Amino acid sequence: MTLSNSIFNFRLISHSAASGDPPDHRLICTAMYFLRAASCLVAAVFLAVGPAAVPTAQAEPNAEANSAGNCPYKVSTPPAVDSSEVPTAGDPPLPLAVPPTPVGGNALAGCGIITAPDTPPVPGDVSAEAWLVADLDSGAVIAARDPHGRHRPASIIKVLVAMAAINELNLNKSVAGTDDDAAAEGTKVGVDAGGTYTVNQLLHGLLMHSGNDAAHALARQLGGMQMALEKINVLAAKLGGRDTRVATPSGLDGPGMSTSAYDIGLFYRYAWRNPTFADIVATRSYDFPGHGDHPGYELENDNQLLYHYPGALGGKTGYTDDAGQTFVGAANRNGRRLMAVLLHGTRQPIAPWEQAAHLLDYGFSTPAGTQVGSLIEPDPALASGKDKPANRQPDASQAAGLMSDAEALPVRVGVAVLGAVVVFGLILVARSMNSRAQH
């Protein structure tokens, strides 16, 4: 039976209904066939429509090593080397769901080195297991290695607590230090009970010298540790980070902690659009306040790229035993602003900032417009300021439920097609009834 015959019989059913005569069983079955055919049409559209294509990229060193099916960290981070990620109670969190299509373009699915055709070879002294070079302004991904491979971020994830604080808090707000702030594990900048600090000062301590005590103090201002983590994870999701779960605001390893070079690129591109963030990470020295018997001191930025790379815009350093060396750095050369992201690296054969410098050199050596994928745009509500946490309490389920534009597109098209089918059927019914009335 053809779809056209089904439509004809559907009209007969409508005709029968208009005349008051009961439709026979055969015609009802025909109508059901019509509806099934319409459903198949919608399903076909869902399968056929996908994200916009990106320029063709070539994979190195070979297709087998670069295929998504052979990527060891597609689902979970590398095995931990210590017990810092063992939950205090219950089972470890399940790995995050892997999107059906790679965010940013199909070429970013692989875990080998991904470069555009007719571009120079990438630097051979980059030890990071995952990295990315991207344009801060256009969002073009110029080259990458395992961009969606899941790794631990260490302190470069502090960008999220920084942006959550910048979006929500008054920079001049005074914050009293606490003993819990001072007890934070790892690097500290001197936040302690008895001291009073502005949000702006805490942000400088957080981003310039990776103060975990500053991260703890800012998390308190965001509603406490649990609320802060919910806000941070919702922000990550709204920025498009599908590989990211933040377990601690400081970047210390915790149960389920995960991100990717691609996601970090999304977060820092968003952050560098904010003048407060951009100014802080570009600051070389800053007077950090003391209190009582603890004098203030000159805080120095620990990002060596800022001192040694012409046009450097700053960035962020990171390290834990499980994460290895992580790094983000950006630079401006003749108006072209690029950033480099490194995850799960080492200090061999050269320091992480030097590896980033070589990746930036590589990026600047490629022609403008070189692209193997793209950093997607954030949720428009973030740009408009209508979705600040101060205006709406976050739902913890949001971080897992947000879809990227690429994933939402088939849904929108499918709904449109289904609506068109329904309207078409109603038109046929109306025409049939009108024809009956004229008889």
**40-58: b or e for each residue (b if 16 or more CB lie within 10 Å)?**
ebbeebeeeeebeebeebe
345 SS3 class: strand
pLDDT by residue (tens digit) across 28-78?
Answer: 444 444 444 444 444 444 333 343 333 444 444 333 345 556 899 999 999
Q: What is the pLDDT of residue 428?
A: 53
Q: Which residues pair with 373 in a beta bridge?
A: 141
Based on the number of CB atoms within 10 Å of its own CB, is 370 exposed (0-12), middle (13-18) or buried (19 or more)?
buried
Binding residue ranges: 316
Q: Which residues pair with 340 in a beta bridge?
A: 133, 329
**What is the rounded distance in angstroms from the CA atom of residue 142 to the CA atom of residue 360?**
10
Residues with a known catalytic role: 155, 158, 210
DSSP-assigned letter for residue 374: E
Instruction: Work out whether strand 336-345 and strand 373-374 pair parallel, antiparallel, or are unpaired.
Output: unpaired
Q: What is the pLDDT of residue 92?
A: 80
Q: What is the pLDDT of residue 1?
A: 47
CA-based nearest residue to 115, from 164, 55, 155, 160: 55
Q: What percent of the chain has pLDDT over 70?
A: 72
Q: End-to-end CA distance of the chain, in Å?
A: 29
Regions of the chain short of the pLDDT cut 50: 1-65, 389-415, 417-418, 421-423, 429, 433-434, 436-439
- Residue ranges per structural domain of the chain: 3-48+410-438, 60-86+103-391
Q: What is the pLDDT of residue 90?
A: 74
Binding residue ranges for substrate: 316
pLDDT by residue (tens digit) across 227-268?
Answer: 999 999 999 999 999 999 999 999 999 999 999 999 999 999
CATH code of 60-86+103-391, in short, is 3.40.710.10
Q: Which long-range contacts (CB under 8 A, 24 or more apart) does 210-213 make?
A: 210/155, 210/158, 210/251, 210/302, 210/316, 210/317, 210/318, 211/187, 212/184, 212/185, 212/186, 212/187, 212/188, 212/250, 212/252, 213/177, 213/181, 213/182, 213/184, 213/188, 213/189
Q: Are 414 and 407 in contact (CB under 8 A)?
A: no
Q: Which residue has tokens 């996601």?
A: 263
Q: What is the pLDDT of residue 150?
A: 98
Counts of helices then strands in the chain (DSSP H, E): 15, 12
Q: What is the pLDDT of residue 60?
A: 44
Q: What is the pLDDT of residue 33?
A: 47
Q: What is the pLDDT of residue 425?
A: 55
